[in-house]
Amino acid sequence: MFDVNIPVGLNSQSVTTSVSTVTVPPPSVMLAKPLSYQFQVVEYVDKDDKVIKVELQVQKTEHDNYGNVIQSSGFQPVPRIKLPLP
């Protein structure tokens, strides 16, 4: 709370008015945080530059409402699933 001095006319009298501030509580609604996914293909090669293994990796990143990075999982291999052919 703070006080405001308001002059009245040209005389030397003043009126003091008290002004209070109101605090508004934050909203109780939970908002979903934006996510982004980045994929990369990794090739494992031997000494002769022969490809031994190829792997797909994914990185999941969580952002705040302004796009700043909050948490990143780092690149992890995507599990392979074998589907039966018809």
Write the pLDDT tens digit of every residue in 6-42: 655 555 556 667 777 778 777 777 777 889 999 999 9
Task: For the chain, give every domain's residue range.
Answer: 29-80
Whether this prediction's pTM lies above 0.75 is answered by no
Mean predicted confidence (pLDDT) in 50-63:
94
Residue 67's SS3 state is coil
Mean predicted confidence (pLDDT) in 62-86:
90
Helix residue ranges per DSSP H, 1-86:
none
In single-letter form, the type of residue at position 3 comes to: D
Mean predicted confidence (pLDDT) in 50-62:
94
**DSSP summary character for residue 66:** T
**DSSP summary character for residue 64:** -
Average pLDDT of the residues of the chain: 83
Instruction: Check residue 23 and give its pLDDT.
Output: 82
